[in-house]
Amino acid sequence: MNPDLTAQWTRIRDRMKLEVGEVEYRTWLRQMSLGGLDGDEITIHMPTRFLRDWVRSHYGDKLTALWRAENPAVHRVDLRVGAGSVSAPAIAETLPTEPAPAPAPVPASVARSDDRTDPRAEPRQADLASALDPRFSFDAFVVGKPNEFAYACARRVAEQPASQGFNPLFLYGGVGLGKTHLMHAVGLELSRRDNGRPTSVTYMSAEKFMYRFIAAIRSHSTMDFKDSMRSVDVLMVDDVQFLIGKDSTQEEFFHTFNALVDAGKQIVISSDKSPSDLDVEQRLRTRLGCGMVADLHATTFELRVSILEAKATRAGVDVSRRVLEFLAHKITSNVRELEGALNRLLAHASLFGRPVTLESTQEVLRDVLKAQDRRVTIEEIQKRVAEHYHLRLSEMSSARRARNVARPRQVAMYLAKQLTSRSLPEIGRKFGNRDHTTVMHACSRVAEIMGVDAGFAEDVELLRRMLES
């Protein structure tokens, strides 16, 4: 990749981040990756069709304008679904390193939408589903003690969908442990089957389900929405913890769910918590847990080594056992971070044509390793922030809403989102059982104020550095 392009791309991303704010950027734009320049057209890749469409309709013009300003040779921006052939720093940045994107503030986004996002204007079934990622196959999934049960259940569902006791299949486990991967694997396997007619598989995030449903309400097309949801053979909804608190969407989800199960269709659900811990209505909780519940446990050292071995082999790069063990020893949080580290290493090796050694590993991954060595907890963040603003620790979870208490609390939430891998609902819970939307609001508010108030921004940065050191 042309280094100039990469530098321009970095600047454009930074500009976008500034303009749209940290939260919006992370939700919609973080996963963009640069393809290349062909004539006067620059290609940018997005991981899913949903994200691609969203970015095209909401940020397409902005992206084009920024590119034109950066590089006069560029006249058009082509947004595509897929992975870009990105260079090392871009790879490291675009690999998801944290929980699934937070749900966007749905009603606001819908209110802003125009003709291009009107659900009636789009092809129905095709658009409902996000594309399945062919990389997430069963073959590419490395099985070990912590995930063998979930794997076996997923296999079983792929072979005999909607069989007794396995419907719904509810996969749960921490971030980056392979839930989405297994769901895609089931979907890929099933959509390959063809018993007289192809099996129709719909995979979507809970976030998208909500977005779709609310858009349908606004455009008075809920019947179409329901029909299209109920005409599938297999429905997979990822990250249902994000359905919490939205009564009407929960209600619709519940009915869709029942209709599909009654019609003998398979449902696969994923979540970061077990059904009984989900923050949803009791009847939905019961329904979700009534099939097979399989959890993915935290990885073991052995599994991490096997995963690294498999990925290095797939990439066709020979990495010594010592390096793999070093990584598996150092990076223990989840597979996504492990994979990110390995990819960065491989990209570095191929860019500079040097073999991967223990020394180069330590060098290339210095920042990652440092962050892993020191994991900040939400409690530490609360304590530091409270001290800094001369508040009692209990104010972090109190109900008081006076500005001098509420603002530091928001700062602590913001830092918790930035410095830990906790999900929004988890963070909310630690702050006096607040809703995840409150945390989301806190994050965007703090980012916004940091943009206009230099003193405040300095404070937050100082806190961050203290917590990170």
Using CB under 6 A as the binding rule, whether residue 176 contacts ligand ADP is answered as: yes
Q: Which of 33, 130, 147, 199 binds ligand ADP (CB under 6 A)?
A: 147
Establish if 294 lies at the interface with ligand ADP (CB under 6 A): no
Of these, 8, 94, 113, 180, which contacts ligand ADP (CB under 6 A)? 180
Does residue 21 bind ligand ADP (CB under 6 A)? no
Give dist(CA 190, CA 281) in Å, integer.
31
- Taking contact as CB under 6 A, which single stretch among the options 3-11, 16-24, 85-93, 172-180 is the one that binds ligand ADP? 172-180
Interface with ligand ADP (CB under 6 A), residue from 142, 327, 378, 411: 142
Residue nearest to Mg ion (CB): 180
271 binds Mg ion (CB under 5 A): no
Q: Give 215 or 331: the residue with its C-beta nearer to ligand ADP.
A: 331
x-or-dash string of contact with ligand ADP, 298-337, rule CB under 6 A = ---------x---------------------------xx-
Nearer to ligand ADP, 59 or 141 (CB): 141
Shortest CB 82 distance to ligand ADP, Å: 15
Q: How far is the CB of 168 from ligand ADP (least distance, A)?
A: 17
Mask: binding to Mg ion, 74-113, rule CB under 5 A, as x and -? --------------------------x-------------
Nearest distance from C-beta of residue 340 to ligand ADP, angstroms = 9
Kindly report the number of other CB atoms within 10 A of residue 268's CB atom. Answer: 30
Task: Write the CA distances from 420 to 170, 271, 277, 320, 344, integer angstroms.
Answer: 26, 19, 21, 31, 21
Q: Give yes or no for residue 236 binding ligand ADP (CB under 6 A).
A: no
Only segment of 78-86, 173-181, 190-198, 243-251 that touches ligand ADP (CB under 6 A): 173-181
340: contact with ligand ADP by CB under 6 A: no
The residue from 22, 70, 339, 426 that contacts ligand ADP (CB under 6 A) is: 339
| Residues 6+ positions from 316 with CB-CB distance below 8 Å | none
CB of 28 to ligand ADP, least distance (A): 18
Q: Taking CB under 5 A as the rule, does residue 180 contact Mg ion?
A: yes
How many residues sit in the footprint of ligand ADP (CB under 6 A)?
17
186 interacts with ligand ADP by CB under 6 A: no
Instruction: Give buried/exposed letters for 175-214 (b at 16+ CB in 10 A, else e).
Output: bbbbbbbbbbbbbbbbbeeeeeeebebbbbbbbbbbbbbb
Out of 50, 59, 136, 166, the only residue in the binding site for ligand ADP (CB under 6 A) is: 136
Q: Which does 217 bind (CB under 5 to 8 A by kind): Mg ion, ligand ADP, none?
A: none
Which residue of 26, 45, 56, 181 would you call a contact of ligand ADP, by CB under 6 A? 181
Q: Which of 13, 26, 179, 417 binds ligand ADP (CB under 6 A)?
A: 179
The phi and psi torsions of 78 (rounded to 5 degrees) equal -110, 115
Q: Which residue is nearest to ligand ADP (CB)?
A: 178
Closest CB 126 distance from ligand ADP, rounded Å: 23
**Residues 437, 384: Cα–Cα separation, whole Å:** 24
170 belongs to the binding site for ligand ADP (CB under 6 A)? no
Q: What residue ranges bind Mg ion (CB under 5 A)?
A: 100, 179-180
